[in-house]
Structure 1
Amino acid sequence: MKSKKMAVILLLVSCSTTGCSVPNLANTKDAQSVAAAKPSIRIVANSLGMNFPDGMDENHNPYLDYMEKKIGVQVNVTLPPLNGYDEKLNVIMASGEPPDLLSTSDPSWFINFVNQKALTPLNDDIEKYGANLKSKIPKEAWDNVTVNGKIYAIPSLNEVKGTEIVYARKDWLDKLGLKPPKTIDEYKEVIKAFTERDPDGNGKKDTYGLSILERLRRTSPFLGAFGVQMNAWYERDGKLVYSGILPEMKEALLFFRNLYDEDLLDPEFPLNKIDVLGQKIVNGQVGLFSAAWSDTRSHIAENIKKDPNAVWIPLDFPTGPGGKHGVYSTSIVRSYNVVPVKSQKAEEVVKFLDFIAGPGQISLKLGFENEVWTRENGKLSIRFDQHTKQGYRGIYGALADMADRNVTQDRLQALGEQFHLYDNLQQIENNLMIDQFNGPPTPAMGKHQIKLSKLQEDTFTRIITGLSPIEEFDTFVKKWKESGGDEISGEVNEWWRDSKK
């Protein structure tokens, strides 16, 4: 694995940023259709990695036809590539002819364009045409998209309150005579054994004790053992302090650095996108990782299908020396739906999103009744072939997800009790570390957050991989503060004081 480490380090040192091209927003519907008398809107949405069945695409499918028929508005859809999605949105906004609706999950992107006065206030249109939005979106979510009394986005809500839960191969633990770990030290013992003691029994050193994702994602439970999470704000001495500059973060980075130095951490992690990590799990190279709550139905299930001897179990979240443990909490806002000021279609956009939030919610969440699902004696039953085939409906439903708890529980249990999806969510929700800043993004975040996030990601990755000493963390803290962090902290604490009045 030493050679892999060197290859990754060279790539980290030499990587460069590529440019973006402007998607062709006009080429989304047949010219004849666009010219129809029906009102039309152009939207840019996240594909969520979904695929369409043969003969269909984002502009030609039964779910889009269903929405267009119900609201009397023609919807022309563009799905930029997932990689660099928000950068593509920047290019689209600068193109001179932006669409009528753009959806982003990045609060910094949202507030940046609020600062530029590039977005349309939606208060009046929501009041007139957004009855479902008004009744189903809670005040906390509206507060996240309201600046100086003006609503600049329609929020889509997060269905889950947290994401990560640790899963491990019980068959590997049993083979090596190990118990499920509870403390962070016991976790390290298991990680070491899974790396060095040939848990798959093939006589090769080809398993990773722990694998994580690029940009230090899928690390939340391990950070929690040190009492910290990425990109959060915690109260210290009566003030909110950014998690990335706390001493606890330095301790967590040192933990990962030690794993890396001892060849216990996947050396390719700086290049691991989710599909890469997923394939390593499927192939039996990884026996312990911080899973998404839904991975039991995807990567883990695929591994079990490939290796019937594989047995996966959820672990207790690792506890640190001070008894700390937990995982990050998600924002109530999943994504921001904005209308550029150059658009004249705010009314149609609000009607479109109000339909998704209201009458269209069940069909877009569960699929068409009698095609994808039925209900017998009160119990939901899902046709899995059609559920998967029509999964692309989630692209549209995610634009105004109302996160109905009863629907979520019903759906997850119907997808297969053997996957423990709802159980996973409950375990996560019982161990959340709450981010204490839940206000709208501040103006300084719009100005500085992107560069500060990159500074943090680069510095932390370099520390873990040994390209920088651990002392570089102190330099990072100073630079973070000077490069806009202090300005952000001031605004966050102003919100903190006002919220207590």
Structure 2
Amino acid sequence: MMKRIRAAILVTLACCSTAGCGIPNLTLKEENKAGTASEPAIRIVANSLGMNFPEGMDENHNPYLSYIEKNIGVQVNVTLPPLNGYDEKLNVIMASGEPPDLLNTSDPSWFIHFVNQKALTPLNDYIEKYGANLKAKIPKEAWDNVTVDGKIYAIPSLNEVKGTEIIYARKDWLDKLGLQPPKTIEEYTAVMKAFAERDPDGNGKKDTYGLSILERLRRTSPFLGAFGVQMKAWYERDGKLVYSGVLPEMKEALLYLRGLYDADILDPEFPLNKIDVLGEKIVSGRVGLFSAAWSDTRAHIAANRKIDPKAEWIPLDFPVGPNGKHGVYSTSNVRSYNVIPNKSDKAEAVVKFLDFVAGPGQTSLKLGFENEIWTRVDGKLSIRFDEHSKHGYRGIYGALADMADPNVTRDRLDALGSQFRLYDNIQRIEQNLMVDRFNGPPTPAMGKHQIKLSKLQEDTFTRIIAGLSPIEEFDAFVKKWKEAGGDEITGEVNEWWRETNK
């Protein structure tokens, strides 16, 4: 079985590196939507966020899009590429010769690449004329992230939270095996080993994992934090910024995860785990400890408890490593970038669209229509959960220009159910953040090299953990990373650092 899994990993990595993971051609669809001939129209490409639409509706026919169109007087034609390979599909669209009027990406490397290509429209004048809500609600540091040589090349959507990951574990499994909630990395290892070997679900089979993570080493943040690093972060060392992926501490973290894999504690299928695959393993009771997203208590964990009412999940302290380090990654204040290709002549309409989403439309797109999905009872938000879930797709539009308001966030999360601890989870994460010291705009060298360097890192680290490459491969990776553009990026990052700290 293990040989078959490792073979699958090899094939998957080889296919992705040689064939681009089978990215198909993608063309923008044309919508024949109702509207007058004189009504202006814009075409936008957005992330579906994995949302589904109720029967009879789609991304171009639903009450929330109609609400936007009615208020801005602009017809909006929406394309939602599949989630897998999303940014690669944006590349295909940009190369099509007729790109849309708006594209949304969460990848800063993609953004700066097309800035370098001079393929995007500078937006300063349009924001000044048509973006009053954007100007009022987006802070300077977020604008700085999308400004290159004084020109604004994207309208940012903001992150609602400052961090994402928090470890949850099955307390009923801990109790059954006579274990206490772990605090140190050594205690975590012992608990995960017991979960993998001592039949915590009591079915007489060895079918549970000590730990499961996602492909590309996502959902590993608390374990990396125990060694003092996070993925794709910059830390200060001796007055300079250094990249986390090439630090000795990262090598230690990889060695730890490799040890879990060799001991059959780590899910051997992790390189193939997309979020729905990991979710199914949690729901079906095969995983009793994992690095959860702060909202998973209302998602996979809640679904598991529905199947197994005896399942009791609790948040754990972040593991403390051998040198007393602990923590999780901090998110950028920019959630995603909205860019307008310079071949579009609809910048005015696009900015008006995003300004409405960020301003008057924000409450309805985040919470739903008042009196249909929510009301206020004695000053507190009350949500009709059936309608809330049915129309969750509204978030596709709201996420394009999300504005971070802590009061709205707490109000909304508390209304979704105190039993899910959503606001508490966010607070616990924010108290344990490892701050990325680089928060400027992506540098020109990032646009040239970051995509290939990220793939090099993900492939190398995955192979090391899965036992397909020796740990010494890390040293070869560091050399290759530096020579393939990493040193150039480091130079630009430190130039920004010097300017910022004058």
For each residue in 1:72-115, what CA deviation from the matched residue of structure 2 results, as whole angstroms up to 9, or x when unmatched? 11101000010110011101111111000000000000000000
Q: Partners of 1:335 and 1:249 in 2: how far apart?
A: 27
Q: Partners of 1:119 and 1:311 in 2: how far apart?
A: 50
TM-superposed CA distance for 1:318, in Å, is: 0.1
TM-superposed CA distance for 1:15, in Å, is: 2.6
Matches for 1:265-284 after TM superposition, within 5 Å: 265-284=266-285
**Which residue does 2:356 correspond to in 1?**
355
Q: Secondary structure at the match of 1:348?
A: helix
Q: Partners of 2:124 and 2:53 in 1: how far apart?
A: 35
For each residue in 1:17-59, what CA deviation from the matched residue of structure 2 results, as whole angstroms up to 9, or x when unmatched? 34444434242334x64x7211111100000000010000000
Q: Is the 8 A contact 1:190 1:209 kept in 2?
A: yes
Q: Partners of 1:218 and 1:201 in 2: how far apart?
A: 27
**Which residue does 1:8 correspond to in 2?**
8
TM-superposed CA distance for 1:5, in Å, is: 3.6
Residues 13 and 413 (structure 1), Cα distance of their counterparts in 2 relative to 1, 3 Å cut: closer
Matches for 1:51-66 after TM superposition, within 5 Å: 51-66=52-67
For each residue in 1:268-321, what CA deviation from the matched residue of structure 2 results, as whole angstroms up to 9, or x when unmatched? 000000000000000000000000000000100010110111000000000011
Q: Partners of 2:144 and 2:381 in 1: how far apart?
A: 35
- Unmatched 5+ residue regions in structure 1? none
Q: Partners of 1:277 and 1:56 in 2: how far apart?
A: 29
Q: Secondary structure at the match of 1:103?
A: strand
Q: Partners of 1:312 and 1:90 in 2: how far apart?
A: 41
**Which residue does 2:31 correspond to in 1?**
28
Q: Is the 8 A contact 2:365 2:398 kept in 1?
A: yes
For each residue in 1:313-337, what CA deviation from the matched residue of structure 2 results, as whole angstroms up to 9, or x when unmatched? 0000000111100000000000000
Q: Partners of 1:88 and 1:55 in 2: how far apart?
A: 27
Q: Partners of 1:251 and 1:297 in 2: how far apart?
A: 34
TM-superposed CA distance for 1:157, in Å, is: 0.1
**Which residue does 2:372 correspond to in 1?**
371
Q: Is the 8 A contact 2:327 2:434 kept in 1?
A: yes
**Which residue does 1:263 correspond to in 2?**
264
**Which residue does 1:300 correspond to in 2?**
301
Number of aligned residue pairs: 499
Q: Partners of 1:265 and 1:21 in 2: how far apart?
A: 33
Q: Partners of 1:357 and 1:426 in 2: how far apart?
A: 25
Q: Is the 8 A contact 1:182 1:316 kept in 2?
A: yes
For each residue in 1:225-258, what CA deviation from the matched residue of structure 2 results, as whole angstroms up to 9, or x when unmatched? 0000000000011100000000000000000000
Residues 59 and 421 (structure 1), Cα distance of their counterparts in 2 relative to 1, 3 Å cut: same
**Which residue does 2:192 correspond to in 1?**
191
**Which residue does 1:218 correspond to in 2?**
219
TM-score (norm 2): 0.98
Partner amino acid, structure 2, of 1:11: V
Matches for 1:78-477 after TM superposition, within 5 Å: 78-477=79-478
For each residue in 1:346-398, what CA deviation from the matched residue of structure 2 results, as whole angstroms up to 9, or x when unmatched? 10000000000100000000000000000022100000000001100000000
Partner amino acid, structure 1, of 2:109: S
Q: Is the 8 A contact 2:29 2:79 kept in 1?
A: no
Q: Partners of 1:24 and 1:297 in 2: how far apart?
A: 36
Q: Is the 8 A contact 2:233 2:244 kept in 1?
A: yes
Q: Is the 8 A contact 2:13 2:459 kept in 1?
A: no
Q: Partners of 1:270 and 1:20 in 2: how far apart?
A: 19
TM-superposed CA distance for 1:129, in Å, is: 0.5
TM-superposed CA distance for 1:7, in Å, is: 3.9
Q: Partners of 1:26 and 1:248 in 2: how far apart?
A: 47
Residues 339 and 198 (structure 1), Cα distance of their counterparts in 2 relative to 1, 3 Å cut: same
Q: Secondary structure at the match of 1:15?
A: helix
Q: Partners of 1:416 and 1:59 in 2: how far apart?
A: 31
Partner amino acid, structure 2, of 1:57: D
- What's the RMSD between the two structures over aligned residues? 1.1
Q: Partners of 2:5 and 2:250 in 1: how far apart?
A: 23
Q: Secondary structure at the match of 1:425?
A: helix
TM-superposed CA distance for 1:13, in Å, is: 5.3
Q: Partners of 1:495 and 1:371 in 2: how far apart?
A: 49
Residues 207 and 413 (structure 1), Cα distance of their counterparts in 2 relative to 1, 3 Å cut: same
For each residue in 1:189-233, what CA deviation from the matched residue of structure 2 results, as whole angstroms up to 9, or x when unmatched? 000000010100111000000000000000000000000000000
Q: Partners of 1:26 and 1:317 in 2: how far apart?
A: 46
Q: Secondary structure at the match of 2:309?
A: coil
Q: Partners of 1:120 and 1:182 in 2: how far apart?
A: 50
Residues 440 and 72 (structure 1), Cα distance of their counterparts in 2 relative to 1, 3 Å cut: same
**Which residue does 1:48 correspond to in 2?**
49
Q: Secondary structure at the match of 1:198?
A: coil
TM-superposed CA distance for 1:14, in Å, is: 4.0
Q: Is the 8 A contact 1:21 1:91 kept in 2?
A: no
Q: Partners of 2:257 and 2:246 in 1: how far apart?
A: 17
Q: Partners of 1:13 and 1:402 in 2: how far apart?
A: 38
TM-score (norm 1): 0.98
Q: Secondary structure at the match of 2:486?
A: helix
Q: Secondary structure at the match of 1:289?
A: strand
- Unmatched 5+ residue regions in structure 2? none
Q: Is the 8 A contact 1:165 1:290 kept in 2?
A: yes
Q: Partners of 2:421 and 2:48 in 1: how far apart?
A: 26
Partner amino acid, structure 2, of 1:449: Q
Identity of aligned residues (%): 81
